[in-house]
Homo-oligomer: A and B are copies of this chain.
């Protein structure tokens, strides 16, 4: 698993975001920086609703609309990556100062393992040549069963998170 970002990393990404916003004529609102900070303070994968509730917990409440808006901006400027692990829901993770990687997903418990293999890039450059295609990114997932008895008993991880509203 990834380790949480250091304070200096947080300052770096804020600077990058600041610069991105300025260059593209977007405003630097406190909400946007709070979301960015929250993403880089923690670690791992999250969805928009996770972020909505995380923000709620900080006491600095933002609306879902702002969460979505900010995540879009962060994806656009490359500080956050968007993934489609399962159907019909986007997952996100921080992307700065964190190695490029892909994911192995357990169909039973939803556990996510990260890996990196340089052969992907070999394939990418081959495709690029053969098909005259400018490739800007990729997504590679392997699906299956993790044989981890500890993790894979908590199948509840895959359930709907409707309990989140309860707080």
Contacts and interface: CB of A to CB of B under 8 A. Distances in A.
A57 interface: no
Interface in A106-124: 106-107, 113, 115, 117, 119-120, 122-124
A90 interface: yes
12 contacts: A88-B88, A104-B127, A106-B133, A113-B133, A127-B142, A133-B146, A133-B147, A135-B144, A137-B144, A138-B142, A139-B140, A139-B143
Give the bracket for the number of chain A residues in contact with chain B.
Answer: 35 or more
Contacts of A146: 131-133
A78 to B, nearest CB: 13
Interface string A24-68: 000000000000000000000000000000000000000000000
Nearest to A147: B132
